[in-house]
Structure 1
Amino acid sequence: MTRVGILGGTGKTGRAVARALAARGAVPVPLGRAQWPDLSGALRGCAAAYLIAPNLHPDEPAHVSAILAAARAAGVGRVVHHSVAAPYAPDLPHHLGKARAEDLVRRSGLAWTILQPGAYLQNLPLDGSTIVVPYRLDAPFGFAHLDDLAEVAATVLLDEAHAGATYELASWRGDVSGVAAAVGAATEVLDPEEWARTDGAGLDERQRSWLLAMFAYYEAHGLPVGTVPMTTLLGRTPTAPARVSDR
């Protein structure tokens, strides 16, 4: 059976990808921080690896570079990098880190595929509770459903035909108001400075400033992403927003 290393395998994305791989008969190998002292050893025997950096990593290129070196040393043949939609957005520092990491992946000497998901639907409450965001409700988005993304990740990890491809991925196009209508939720717009004093107060200054930059970008531009690549890779209609209790 095909073994696949999942770097960042203990987070919500890593766990979803592991489930999707197991459903196809592959053997997921979730790897977290505990494996870093001997990452190449932990990756040995894996045919492919899925690279997920921690959210708002202060130096994602260095993080990804270390994973790529370990993958080469372990004899891993293919890597799939979990990036983000619109990685080259100069106003978004954490996106730029992913853009630089993408360049490292492309020049790694390994067979590679890059996935660029839009904002997760699961980042919003889907249980009917009030959806609170620090940007306008009608900002356009291409939202990615986590289960759809995981299914696509399993597809590209297990099929070498996707080597050299970059896929921007969204399950549903719309805005926060549309998500709220679909799940029967009320909405509230929170002033970004109020967010910084409340929900963002526990973050360090860098993380808080990066997220404030993201909110300002969303206010001005949203994060539109098309659904055709996701639809094609899934071979079905992607998942639309729905109440968790209705699924």
Structure 2
Amino acid sequence: MRVAVVGGRGKTGRAVVAALTARGVETVATGRAEWDRLAEVVAGCDAAYVVAPNLHPDEPAYAATVLDGLVEAGVGRVVYHSVASPYAPQMPHHLGKAMSEDLVRRSGLAWTLLQPGAYLQNLDLGAELQVPYDLDATFGFADLAEVGEAAAVVLTEPGHEGATYELATRVATVRELAAEAGVHAVQVPNTTGGALGAMFDHYDRHGLPVGTRVLDMLLGRNP
């Protein structure tokens, strides 16, 4: 089996490549350098995992271009990296994910959508932890390596076509994670603008709850 990982040089792409490699799967990781010849680079691949750049200003356009390239290259299977709660109007980049999901569903390819929660690795638990949102907001946090493993499962095992999976490793608050790590956590003002600032505002009000049972199922472990 040969799998293209579009966006394979970022942290998510590298995690997916590592998980696929551990299963003995040949991978083709693409980045910006291959953008103008994507169809050529992914030709001969059986499937593709697609990760858009973080906070992409027009993810639907990105997704449309990639999907066209996959169709042109004859890649019949796609797994798209989305986000938990994609239809969240307060968060523009989440809406971009929701629109991209629609394009994937209508692409004519066999598809699966993965919707991970916030990465545990985005929190710096080695020093005082400062976040611009409520320390007691509930999140479904996802471990990056486990997201990679889940991607490898749905890419290499049958029965996942047409499925949409929310992924979280554990449910917790930032305060709880900081306490477990023995570090002090503090909420700081949200002075960030744009899509990132809007995301923090949403987190402050609502958190980002995600259940853990789906990831447990995909990884074959008891809850």
Q: Shorter-chain TM-score: which interval?
A: over 0.9
Matches of 2:198 and 2:139, distance apart in 1? 17
Offset, 1:237: 5.5
Deviations 1:81-130 (A, max 9, x none): 0000000001110000000000000000000000000000000013x311
Q: Does 1:124 align with 2:109?
A: no
Identify the residue that residue 110 of structure 1 maps to in structure 2.
Answer: 109
Identify the residue that residue 25 of structure 2 maps to in structure 1.
Answer: 26
Structure 2 residues without counterparts, runs of 5 or longer: none
Identify the residue that residue 220 of structure 2 maps to in structure 1.
Answer: 235
Matches of 1:33 and 1:229, distance apart in 2? 32
1:149 to 147, 150, 157: 147
Q: Does 1:60 align with 2:59?
A: yes
Q: Does 1:139 align with 2:124?
A: no
Deviations 1:147-189 (A, max 9, x none): 1100000000112310000000100001001111222211121
Identify the residue that residue 46 of structure 2 maps to in structure 1.
Answer: 47
Instruction: Provide TM-score, normalisation by structure 1.
Output: 0.88
Matches of 1:16 and 1:57, distance apart in 2? 20
SS at 1:163 equivalent? coil
SS at 2:118 equivalent? coil
Offset, 1:236: 1.9
Matches of 1:237 and 1:131, distance apart in 2? 31
Offset, 1:40: 0.3
CA RMSD between the two structures = 1.0
Structure 1 residues without counterparts, runs of 5 or longer: 197-207, 239-247
Identify the residue that residue 224 of structure 1 maps to in structure 2.
Answer: 209
Matches of 2:63 and 2:99, distance apart in 1? 10
Aligned residues: 223
Offset, 1:28: 1.4
Q: Does 1:94 align with 2:79?
A: no
Identify the residue that residue 9 of structure 1 maps to in structure 2.
Answer: 8
Q: What is the letter of the counterpart of residue 215 of structure 2?
A: M
